[in-house]
Structure 1
Amino acid sequence: MNKVSGNPLKNRVKARLRAGGQSVSNQTALMVVTALFVSSYLISNTMAVKVIGLFNIFFFDAGTIVFPFAYMLGDVLTELWGFRIAKRVIWTTFFCNILMVVCTQIGVWLPAPEHMEEISNAYGTIFNCVPRIVLASLVGFLCGELSNAWLMVKIREKTKGKHLWVRTIGSSAVGYLFDSLPFVLIAFAGVVPVRELLLMMAFQYVSKLLIEALFGTPLAYAAIKFVRKYVRLDYNN
């Protein structure tokens, strides 16, 4: 008699993850990564209203903390589903950002009761800044993300699918440059002094790249490995 090895329930779950519902599994994984990608950008744009200053030398917007993880998710999208799908998700995120601005501005314009005027003013202080920041983000976003995704594909062709870290860091180094420069100029020119503006550009670029290298790339490796192990992808990437 053959001996049943391991936990039967665990074995059934693993078998179902590997073999069950190719299309559904692929769509679910893509849906989750897309949702996280879009959410990262919306959160980053809202957080970018606050400028952080460390020791009166390093200046960066709070969205810088979250932003590299959006790039990491963009790398995962391109690596697993290809440039065509990544480009669709990028444009979807673009229109989601516009929708967020429209909705928050409606909230700003609508009247508030007198006893909640203080809260209404605080709401307006935050979200009146968001349209300019989102405009800056949209310009930088399209330039940075599209170049990042395109470079991921080109570097992958050159390296024959090897050395994922070269693709993630190399494409991000160029993508962050195309993103950070227009973003800082459009979002903060005339709002902060020139010295702080230049320091913000430099620190934002370097900090994003460091976060990508130290945290984003290891997370990308883990996410890609997990999806390839448990999801039957519809695309041969």
Structure 2
Amino acid sequence: MIKQVPENPAKNRNNNSIWLVVVAALTVTCYITANIMAVKMVEIGGKAWFDAGTITFPIAYMLGDVLTEIWGFKTARKIILLTFVCNFILVVCTYIGVFLPSPEYMSEVTQAYSVIFTYTPRILAASLIAFVAGQISNAWVMSAVKKMTKGKYLFVRTITSSAVGYIFDTGVFVLIAYIGTAITEDIVSMIVVQYIAKLAIEAIFSTPLAYGAVAFLKRKAGVSNE
């Protein structure tokens, strides 16, 4: 009779660590991308505006939900802080680049670079404050609702946590990033439109992706923080 070889726990730990790194890297990338895209304003019918970062932001929130669902609130909080640091490094380095000399034939590119990355520090300041408030509240609600539902109804957790997180994130971000540069009507419009757009993207795209990601990671990483 062939003796069954027990599963190697060290291998499971390695798989778990690898997938955590992958999800963390994707989270950081999505947030940095959203912050850079936030410089661009998108107009809808001349009556509503939102920053282009709204498109990628819900993906980052979805990944935050996945982190909390699979690895728990404490791990998610560490990744949130890591993302904070990475965003800060990005802005410091790109801002230093604004003051470095460049050749004359690159004047148009240099001017465009300066316009984008001179404004980025303000975007970052707004993003970092909003990010911490929004993501911590999102992760906390996600964890709390998971306990209340005993690990069931993932869609309830993702939608509820994001709805709360977006209130903090969107309001704080728009006020800090655009107050003084946009009129009050536009600021109010941006807050409302961004909040609705983020929730819509969350419900239509991000939640189904979260279901797939959670199922995949529970199988591959061999972890379920229930």
Question: TM-score scaled by structure 1?
Answer: 0.90
Residues 153-162 or 18-27, more deviating = 18-27
CA distance in 2, matches of 1:236, 1:113: 55
1:211 matches 2:201: yes
Give 1:236 deviation, angstroms: 3.8
Residue correspondence of structure 1 range 187-198 to structure 2 within 5 A = 187-198=177-188
Does residue 27 (structure 1) correspond to residue 17 (structure 2)? The answer is yes
Query: Residues 28 and 83 of structure 2 are in contact (CA less than 8 Å); yes or no, is this contact kept in structure 1?
Result: yes
Tell me how far apart the structure 1 counterparts of residues 204 and 66 of structure 2 sit (CA, whole Å): 16
Tell me, yes or no, if structure 1 residue 176 matches structure 2 residue 166: yes
Aligned ranges for residues 80-95 of structure 1 at < 5 Å? 80-95=70-85
Superimposed CA distance per residue, residues 175-231 of structure 1 (whole angstroms, 9 cap, x where no aligned partner): 000100010000011111111111000000010011001111000000000111122
Pairing 1:222–2:212 present: yes
Q: Are 1:156 and 2:142 matched, yes or no? A: no
Give the 3-state SS of the residue equivalent to 1:128 in structure 2. helix
Aligned-residue Cα RMSD (Å) equals 1.5
For residues 225 and 91 of structure 2, the distance between their equivalents in structure 1, rounded to whole angstroms, comes to 37
Q: 105, 112, 126: which is aligned to 1:115?
A: 105
Identity in percent: 50
What is the CA distance between 1:116 and its match in structure 2?
A: 1.2
Provide the rounded CA distance (Å) in 1 between the counterparts of 2:139 and 2:220: 24
Pick from 62, 66, 73 the counterpart of residue 56 of structure 2: 66
Size of the alignment, in residue pairs? 220
**TM-superposed deviation, 1:92:** 0.3
Uncovered stretches (5+) of structure 2, i.e. residues with no partner: 1-7
Query: Does the 8 Å CA contact 2:73/2:140 hold for their aligned counterparts?
Result: yes
Distance 1:50 1:69 in 2: 18
Structure 2 CA distance, aligned partners of 1:168 and 1:54?
A: 27
Amino acid at match of 2:58: P
- Rounded to whole Å, the distance in 2 between the matches of 1:22 and 1:224 is 17
Please state if 1:138 is matched with 2:138.
no
Deviations 1:54-80 (A, max 9, x none): 111120000000000000000000000
Partners of 1:230 and 1:50 lie apart in 2 by: 38
> How many angstroms apart in 2 are the aligned matches of 1:189 and 1:92?
28
- Shift of the alpha carbon at 1:20? 8.2
Q: Counterpart in 2 of 1:128?
A: 118
Whole-angstrom distance in 2 between the partners of 1:236 and 1:69: 21
Deviation at 1:24, TM superposition (A): 1.2
SS of 2:116's equivalent in the other structure is helix
Letter aligned with residue 51 of structure 1? M
Q: Which amino acid aligns with 2:187?
A: L
Which of the numbers 4, 15, 34 marks the counterpart of 1:44? 34
Corresponding letter in the other structure for 1:102 = V
> Is the 8 Å Cα contact of residues 35 and 123 (structure 2) preserved in structure 1?
yes
Q: Which amino acid aligns with 2:221?
A: V
5+ residue gaps, structure 1: 1-17
